[in-house]
Amino acid sequence: MLECPKVLLKIIINCKTAYNTLRLTYLTLIRPIFEYGFPIYCCASNSVLKKLEQVQLSSACIITGLKHSCPSNIVLLEADVQPLLFRRQNGLTNFLASANKTKRLST
Distance of CA 11 to the CA centre of its chain: 18
Please report the pLDDT score of residue 47 as a whole number. 92
Q: What is the pLDDT of residue 15?
A: 65
Residues of the chain with pLDDT under 70: 1-3, 5-6, 9, 12-17, 103, 105-107
According to the model, what pLDDT value does residue 10 have?
72
Q: Which helix (H) or strand (E) holds 91?
A: helix 84-106
The structure's pTM equals: 0.70
Query: Taking the chain, what is the end-to-end CA distance rounded to the nearest angstrom?
Result: 39
Q: What angle separates helix 84-106 from helix 46-64, to the nearest 10 degrees? A: 120
Reported as a single tens digit per residue, the pLDDT across 28-46 is: 888 888 888 877 877 888 8
Cβ-in-10-Å burial (0-12, 13-18, 19+) of 36 comes to exposed
